[in-house]
Amino acid sequence: MPVSLHVWRVPRRRIGAAFLRMARDPRRVRGLPGVTFAKFLGTGTGVSFGPLDADFSRYAALVVSASPVALSPWDRIASSSAVVSLTPLHSVGTWSGRRPFAASRDKPDGMVLALTRARLRPSRALTFWRAVPPVVAALDRAPGLLARFGIGEAPIGWQGTVTVWRGATDLTAFAYRQPEHRAVIDRTPTDNWYAEDLFARFAVRDITGDRSVLGWMDEEGRAQA
């Protein structure tokens, strides 16, 4: 089933309205015809994943629906926005006890998006945060990375990342052959960081709107303003 990622940048004077929308919209959107899964998310830079990493000017929603979903209340308070239309390719793990993404048999021949999310065990959060900086530094240098930002269902302990890549080859090279990231993967079973986690990969079918809200990189690997 199609998946859409909606991202909004809101001006400071509208942050209170964004908080209100974050409280009201999850139940409303999940009740819409054709919607099988929806999560509204805060965002961050994805540098540290701690509470100081939060970006209160940017919000996101991930929606699985048989038909397009309009989120016009957000558009009215946003200064800029983007929608990424996605086709699920691969998904491992659960999110709130569910497996929301049904993988297709499509073979991606263009951009791919990777989504990771996890609910940290409180007793293991500090060791996880200490393991993050080398991976973030390596990610910033990764060939083929087009965009990245952090996501979270709560300021602490419920977190993840969204990354967009030029192609599946670039994503695979970072995920499984980059030494710092590989080391974190190898530590995961023994360090027991996560109470629940999910990794999903999607083909990017279309991006509409302002790509800078996705943390889009320029040719020198810097996030565009």
- Residue 223 pLDDT > 60: no
* pTM check: above 0.85: yes
Q: pLDDT tens digit string along 129-186?
A: 776 767 777 777 889 999 999 898 876 667 888 999 999 999 988 877 777 666 777 7
Report d(CA 154, CA 11) in Å as an integer. Answer: 21
Q: Is residue 195 within 8 Å of residue 158, measured between CB atoms? A: no
CA angle 17, 22, 26 (to 5 degrees): 140
Q: Give all domains of the chain, ordered by start, each with its CATH number.
A: 3-214 (3.30.70.100)
Q: pLDDT tens digit string along 109-139?
A: 899 999 999 888 877 777 777 767 677 777 7
The residue type at 107: K
Q: pLDDT tens digit string along 33-88?
A: 999 999 999 998 766 556 667 899 999 999 999 998 989 899 999 999 999 999 99
- Residue 222 pLDDT > 70: no
